[in-house]
C-alpha cells in the first residue's frame, strides 16, 4: 500500500484569489444554476473563469467531443489556472477519453472536481496520470447545495489537515478494518467502463459507490456484471454513498451484502457522498482507513500540498 500511496500526485492547495477554470465535459446545463454556482465558488474566495464554448449544446452533450476535450486540455495546460471544476455531469465524459492529452495533464497536476458522470475522468486521471482527484459538487449543484457541502468543499481544497468522514446516519453492512487508496464514484458510470481500456483497477482499494434513480434490481445487475468481470477482485473495503431515488435503502444494503458475501471486507453505508443535497467532497487516489468500529473513513494525509 505504501508504494501506491507514494505514487499518487497531490495537486497544490488553493489559496484566496486562486483561479478555478470551469469546463463542461459532459451534458449541457441550466445557465441560471451555473451562474448561481459560480457565485458560490467566488464566495469561497476564488476567481471562477470559463470560455463561452461551454454553453454549446449538441443534443444531450455540451458541444462536440473534440470541443469538450479541448476545454479540459487547455485548462490543464494554462499556468494561470490552479483548479478545474465541472459545470455538470449528465452524460458524455467517456466520449472524450480518446481526445484527452494525458501527457499534458500529468505534467500539470491540478485540483479536478466533479461527480456523477465525471467519475469517468476522476478515475482515468488517477489511473493514467497518478493524479489525486476530487469527488465533489459540480458548479450547477453548488447553486442549491447545503451549507455543509460548500464548507466541506472549501475545507478539502484549502486545508492542510487530513479529512475524516463520520456519517450522521452511518450503517455498518459488514464490520471490519481496512486501508487502501480510495477509488470509485458513480456505479452506473463505472459499470460502463467495464471492457474498455479505461476500466480502473480497484485491487487493494477502498471502493466508493453511489447512484441516482436506479431501481434495486438494476443496482444488483450492475454489481453482478462488475463482479463477474473481476472488477471487485482484491478490493480492501466498500463505502456506500447516497443512493437517491433508488428505492428502500435497506433493500440496497441487503443486496450489496449478498453480492459481496464471499469477500471478507468491511462495508459501511450512509456516507453523504453523491446525489443528495449534502455531497461531501473527498479525494480519490489517496490512502485512507475504513474503520466500521468507529464508523469513520479517515484519510492518512491532506489531499493537497503546499
Q: Enumerate the active-site residues.
A: 116, 210, 275
Could you identify the residue written with the cell 489525486?
A: 132
Among 26, 93, 19, which residue's Cα sits nearest to residue 50?
19
How far apart CA 95 and CA 120 sit, in angstroms, is 10
Q: Which of 164, 152, 104, 111 is nearest to 133 (CA)?
A: 111
Nearest to 85 by CA among 71, 70, 65: 71
Amino acid at each position: 500500500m505504501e508504494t501506491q500511496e507514494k505514487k499518487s500526485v497531490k495537486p497544490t492547495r488553493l489559496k484566496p484569489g486562486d483561479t478555478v477554470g470551469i469546463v463542461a465535459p459532459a451534458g449541457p446545463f441550466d445557465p441560471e444554476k451555473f451562474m448561481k454556482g459560480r457565485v458560490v465558488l467566488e464566495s469561497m474566495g476564488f476567481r471562477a473563469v470559463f470560455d463561452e464554448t461551454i454553453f454549446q449544446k449538441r443534443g444531450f452533450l455540451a458541444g462536440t467531443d473534440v470541443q469538450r476535450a479541448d476545454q479540459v486540455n487547455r485548462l490543464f495546460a494554462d499556468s494561470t489556472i490552479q483548479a478545474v471544476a465541472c459545470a455538470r455531469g449528465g452524460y458524455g465524459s467517456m466520449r472524450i477519453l480518446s481526445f484527452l492529452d494525458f501527457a499534458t495533464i500529468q505534467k500539470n497536476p491540478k485540483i479536478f472536481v466533479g461527480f456523477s458522470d465525471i467519475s469517468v475522468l476522476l478515475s482515468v486521471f488517477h489511473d493514467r496520470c497518478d493524479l489525486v482527484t476530487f469527488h465533489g459538487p459540480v458548479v450547477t449543484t453548488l447553486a442549491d447545495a447545503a451549507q455543509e457541502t460548500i464548507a466541506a468543499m472549501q475545507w478539502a481544497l484549502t486545508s492542510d489537515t487530513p479529512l475524516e468522514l463520520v456519517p450522521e446516519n452511518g450503517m455498518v453492512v459488514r464490520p471490519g478494518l481496512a486501508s487502501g487508496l480510495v477509488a470509485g464514484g458513480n456505479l452506473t458510470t463505472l459499470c460502463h467502463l467495464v471492457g474498455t481500456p479505461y476500466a480502473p483497477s480497484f485491487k487493494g482499494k477502498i471502493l466508493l459507490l453511489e447512484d441516482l434513480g436506479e431501481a434495486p434490481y438494476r443496482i444488483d445487475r450492475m454489481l453482478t456484471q462488475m463482479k463477474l468481470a473481476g472488477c471487485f477482485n482484491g478490493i480492501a473495503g466498500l463505502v456506500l454513498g447516497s443512493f437517491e431515488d433508488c428505492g428502500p435503502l435497506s433493500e440496497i444494503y441487503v443486496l450489496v451484502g449478498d453480492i459481496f458475501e464471499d469477500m471478507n471486507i468491511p462495508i459501511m453505508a450512509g456516507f453523504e457522498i453523491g446525489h443528495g443535497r449534502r455531497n461531501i467532497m473527498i479525494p480519490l487516489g489517496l490512502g485512507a482507513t475504513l474503520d466500521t468500529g468507529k464508523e469513520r473513513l479517515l484519510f492518512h494525509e491532506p489531499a493537497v500540498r503546499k
